[in-house]
Amino acid sequence: MKSKRFLATLRVLGWMAFFFLLSAPAIILADQDHSNSFVIRGARVFDGHKVIGQADVWVDSGKIKAVGKSLKVPSNVRAIGAAGDTLLPGLIDAHTHAWGDALKEAEIFGVTTELDMFTSLQFMQPTKKHQAEGKDLDQADLFSAGSLATAPGGHGTEYGIPVPTLTSPSEAQAWVDARIAEGSDYIKIIVDDASAYGSHRPTLSIETVKALIDAAHKRGKLVVVHIARQQDARDVINAGADGLAHLFSDSAPGPDFASLAAAHHVFIVPTLTVLEGVDGVASGESLTTDSRLAPYLTADDIRNLKSSFPKSPTGLSEKYAEQTVAQLKAAHVPILAGTDSPNPGTAHGASIHRELELLVRSGLTPPEALASATSVPAAAFHLADRGVIAPGKRADLLLVKGDPTEDITATRDIVSVWKLGVEDDRASYRASLEKARQEAAKAAQAAPPADSAMGLISDFDDGTATTKFGTGWMVSTDSIAGGKSTGEMKVVEGGANGDKHALDITGAIDGGLPYAWAGVMWSPGSQPFVPVNLSSKKSISFFAKGDGQTYRVLFFTESGGRMPSQQTFTAGSDWKKVSLPFSAFNGTDGHDISAILFVGGPAAGKFDFQIDEIKLE
Ligand SMILES: [Zn+2]
């Protein structure tokens, strides 16, 4: 929602791709039981609208064939006993930003459909193609807005990803047509001048918003609008928006807000879990200690769930949104569960369970909350094949222990998740995370590598880019994450302090990615990205010179996951020593360093710098 959050998450996107392509993936799913015909016997069935009591659900070739008491099925159909459990439609998260492993993680936690509200085309297009081909059944289905409509310099443009902006109503139809050509399932508009956060950004005029809405409706597409203030919510509802992508947190709802929403037949995705951040609350922290969820959370998820932005200085509060939810419920306005994952305080999949809890805290009954993540979003987004348990629907199903229609947190006690009748292999996923945790713990205890005691990594004085320990230097660029930055390295004459050689790093940063990089990488272990305990050292020092631009040192640590921490330095015309304490890199003590990079970017353009006498001290 807020710009800083988006910035952080978009950066994660790039680093995730980077990390995953360079290292052995931490998560390897085993072969699954691909039989997508079976009968689930005796579960309490919540059909998307209400509890229909104990029933059998027969799944045939990925679709629900029949629902009823004591169903007669052919004897070769596998039966799954589920007495005491509750069967629900697979959950739908109506506000996410999907990339990397988002959709896999979502499905692990019972979310079988994500409604994305802005991602890159590089992610959306191939994902939707695979989905249409019936592939990737171990990840949630994706529906996406693709890009978003915003003013030049408006929210959404600050990340470096090219966003096609517009300034006048006359551009609206062409803008909408272009999104539809790209594959957008619906249109997302930003109306947010940042005043809610005590800042300022350009935003679209209400005339342009109305023209976009009309243009989308002309093409039969829904329009969802991001707002932060109540007045904007009212304005876009009056302009004909189909739904709000957040509730406002700047004020208590006026007494007529819900009746306005009801009169205009809008649906609302409150995103309470991300709004808690404005109260300085790490909304997802409680999920990390819930034994029903924790074994399935990656180290990254846990870190993100525990994070939050500082309390809003402008008096924003999630409590206003909860008050509004209660008012909307009374007015029968459709309320959709959405998380805005992966913003701080959230994680794909896991956070839907927090959102359901917060919706109940706001006054929804548990069955109403369950409907907000199943039949209600399916109806609002015209997804006729899902969100309910009924003959002919997709067998996207969630089986949980206990009764979430009484205790909403029972949705966390997952027995099985199926997409199109294929069961997600949660056991293998859990085992792979456990293995990764054990390896990280082991690495933290390990002795430092031989030859690291002196601390010297490279002085290049043998005329090569080899190193005293760990891997040699290697070129690293964002091409691995779809970028077009280029880089080269070579050992050149004339090192720091009059020694013989230094490493020269040149290249060009392409402005197409918000996290663009190019430069060189070194890992302290025998293989790239194997973490090594270097906690006997306290800092990294090196000499640098160059074209006068600012460069970055990136640290990857095992506990820091896929997101590097960084420090900058300036490479001027004369050799200068730079010394950076480990603690400057997100507080690390160096016990699990997995890679160190010297790179240019993210600013676009050519670069040239040299490094020498790189030491840990
Ligand atoms: Zn969002």
High-pLDDT (> 90) share of the chain, %: 74
Q: Tell me what the mean pLDDT of segment 414-437 comes to.
A: 96
Å from CA of 119 to ligand 1 middle: 10
d(CA 256, ligand 1 centre) in Å: 26
DSSP string, 61-100: TTEEEEEETT----TTSEEEE-TTEEEEEPEEEEEE---T
Residue 514 has pLDDT above 80, yes or no: no
With a cut of 50, say whether residue 31 has pLDDT above it: no
Whether the CB-CB separation of 530 and 502 falls below 8 Å is answered with: no
Query: How many A from CA of 6 to the centre of ligand 1?
Result: 8
Q: How far is the CA of 97 from the centre of ligand 1 (A)?
A: 6
How many angstroms is it from 604 CA to the middle of ligand 1? 26
Question: Which of 93-97, 253-257, 404-408, 461-465 comes out lowest in average pLDDT?
Answer: 461-465
Residue 240 pLDDT level (bands cut at 50, 70, 90): very high
Q: Which of 291-300, 305-314, 540-549 has the lowest mean pLDDT?
A: 305-314
Ligand 1 centroid distance, CA of 190 (Å): 10
CA of 53 to the centre of ligand 1 (A): 36
Average pLDDT over residues 577-589: 91
Residue 26 has pLDDT above 50, yes or no: no
Beta strands 85-89 and 38-46, pairing class:
parallel
pLDDT for 162:
79
Separation of CA 68 and ligand 1 centre (Å): 39
How many angstroms separate the alpha carbon of residue 592 from the centre of ligand 1? 33
Q: Which residues surround ligand 1, an ion (CB under 5 A)?
A: 117, 340
Report how far ligand 1's centroid is from the alpha carbon of 399 (Å).
Answer: 28
CA of 342 to the centre of ligand 1 (A): 9
421 C-alpha to center of ligand 1: Å?
A: 30
| Residue where the block lists tokens 């230097």 | 473
pLDDT digits (tens, 9 = 90+) for 98-136: 988 999 999 999 999 999 999 989 899 999 999 999 999
Closest C-alpha among 44, 61, 63, 64 to residue 52: 44
Contact 419, 112 (CB under 8 A): yes
Sign of the CA dihedral running 140, 141, 146, 149: negative
- Share of residues in the chain with pLDDT > 70 (%): 93
pLDDT digits (tens, 9 = 90+) for 80-90: 999 999 999 99
pLDDT given for residue 417 in this prediction: 98
Between 311 and 368, where is the model more confident? 368
Q: How far is it, in rounded angstroms, from Cα 223 to Cα 237?
A: 11
What is the pLDDT at residue 479?
Answer: 81
Question: How much distance in Å is there from the Cα of 2 to the middle of ligand 1?
Answer: 8
In whole angstroms, how far apart are CA 178 and each of 149, 171, 172? 11, 11, 10
Instruction: State both tokens at 610.
Output: 């040299």
> Does 9 have pLDDT greater than 60?
no
Residue 243: its pLDDT value, please? Answer: 98
Distance 174 CA to ligand 1 centre (A): 24
pLDDT in tens, 40-73: 999 999 999 999 999 999 999 999 999 999 999 9
User: Is residue 575 scored above 70 in pLDDT?
Assistant: yes
Q: Report d(CA 592, CA 71) in Å as an integer.
A: 56
Q: Choose among 598, 597, 607, 602: nearest CA to 508.
A: 607
Distance 271 CA to ligand 1 centre (A): 9
Distance 611 CA to ligand 1 centre (A): 40
CA pair distance 599, 520, nearest whole angstrom: 6
More confident residue, 461 or 358: 358
At residue 25, does pLDDT exceed 50?
no
> Does the pLDDT of residue 8 top 50, yes or no?
no
User: What's the average model confidence in pLDDT over 558-572?
Assistant: 84
Cα 93 to averaged position of ligand 1 atoms, centre (Å)? 12
Q: Read off the DSSP letter of residue 139.
A: S
Please tell me the distance between residue 215's alpha carbon and the centre of ligand 1 in angstroms. 22
Under 8 Å CB-to-CB from 357, ≥6 apart: which residues?
A: 408, 409
449-500 pLDDT tens trace: 777 888 899 999 999 998 988 888 999 998 877 778 999 999 999 999 988 9
pLDDT score at 587: 83
What's the DSSP call for residue 243?
E
Distance 96 CA to ligand 1 centre (A): 6
Task: Tell me what the mean pLDDT of segment 310-322 comes to.
Answer: 89
pLDDT of residue 512: 66
Predicted confidence (pLDDT) at residue 234 exceeds the cutoff of 90: yes
Centroid of ligand 1 to alpha carbon of 186 (angstroms): 14
Distance (Å, rounded) from C-alpha 401 to C-alpha 370? 15
Q: Are 504 and 493 contacting, i.e. CB atoms less than 8 angstroms apart?
A: no
More confident residue, 345 or 444: 345
Q: What is the mean pLDDT of the chain?
A: 91
